[in-house]
Amino acid sequence: MQENPRTDNGAMDIPDYAIQRIARCLLPRLLAYFESKEGQRELASGNSNTTTDHSDAAPCIP
C-alpha cells in the first residue's frame, strides 16, 4: 500500500521546479486579467471589502 504524501499539517512537499512551472503559466494570465477592465473592477470591489472580519477563516498553509 502506498503511503499518503501529506505531512501532519496537510501540506504536500511540492518540488520547486513544479511550482516555478506553474507560476510561469499562471503569472502572465493573472497579470493580463488584472490589467483588463474586468480585472480592475474586480480588484476595486475586493479592495472595498478589506474591512471584512476574516477571523473565522481557515489559516493559510505556507
pLDDT tens-place string over residues 3-62: 655 556 667 888 999 999 999 999 999 999 999 999 999 888 887 766 556 566 666 555
Taking the CA atoms of residue 32, residue 37, residue 39 and residue 42 in that order, the dihedral angle to the nearest 10 degrees is 170
- Residue found under cell 481557515: 58
Closest CA to 60 of 4, 10, 2: 10
Verdict on whether the full-model pTM lies above 0.75: no
Q: How far apart (Å, rounded) are the C-alpha atoms in residues 49 and 28? A: 26
Closest CA to 62 of 7, 4, 18: 7
